[in-house]
Structure 1
Amino acid sequence: MDGGSSINILYVETLDTMGILRSKLRTSVFPFLGIIPGLRAYPLGNIELSIMFGSGFEGSYYAILGRPCYAKFMAVPNYTYLKLKMSGLNDVITLSGSFEQAYACCREHFKLATAIANSAELQKLRRMVKESTPDTNEPTSSSAFCPTEDTKVIGVDPNDPTKAVLEFGE
Structure 2
Amino acid sequence: MVDPTVSPKWLTKVLMDGGSGLNIIYAKTLNEMGVDRTRLHPTRVPFHGIMPEKQAMPLRQIELPVTFGDQFNYRTKTLTFEVVGFPATFHAILGHPCYTKFIAIPNYTYLKLKIPGPGGVITVDTSFQRSYECEVECCGHATAIVASRELAAIKREVTEEASHTKKSSRSFEPTESSKEVLTDPDSFEGKTARIGTMLSSE
Q: Same fold (TM over 0.5)?
A: yes
Please state if 1:68 is matched with 2:97. yes
For 2:91 and 2:145, the matched residues in 1 are separated by: 23
The answer (yes or no) to whether the contact 1:35–1:41 under 8 Å persists in 2 is yes
- What does 1:134-149 correspond to in 2, within 5 Å? 134-136=164-166, 138=168
Distance 1:27 1:87, change over 3 A: same
Partner of 1:143: none
AA at the equivalent of 2:145: I
Deviations 1:98-130 (A, max 9, x none): 322221122112111111121112212322333
The answer (yes or no) to whether the contact 1:36–1:113 under 8 Å persists in 2 is no
| Equivalent position SS for 2:122 | strand
Please report the TM-score for the alignment, with normalisation by the length of structure 1. 0.63
Please report the TM-score for the alignment, with normalisation by the length of structure 2. 0.55
Distance 1:25 1:98, change over 3 A: farther
Higher strand share: 2
Partner of 2:150: 121
| Equivalent position SS for 2:60 | coil
Please state if 1:10 is matched with 2:25. yes
Partner of 1:25: 40
The answer (yes or no) to whether the contact 2:112–2:123 under 8 Å persists in 1 is yes
For 1:30 and 1:63, the matched residues in 2 are separated by: 19
Please state if 1:82 is matched with 2:97. no
Distance 1:55 1:81, change over 3 A: same
For 2:39 and 2:46, the matched residues in 1 are separated by: 19
Q: Give the alignment partner of residue 34 of structure 1, picking from 28, 40, 49.
A: 49
For 1:3 and 1:130, the matched residues in 2 are separated by: 43
Q: 5+ unaligned residues in a row in structure 2: which ranges?
A: 1-15, 72-88, 170-202
Shift of 1:63: 3.3
Percent of residue pairs bearing the same amino acid type: 48
Shift of 1:15: 4.0
Shift of 1:43: 3.9
Please say which structure displays the higher CA radius of gyration. Answer: 2
The answer (yes or no) to whether the contact 2:69–2:122 under 8 Å persists in 1 is no
- What does 1:89-104 correspond to in 2, within 5 Å? 89-104=118-133
For 2:56 and 2:130, the matched residues in 1 are separated by: 24
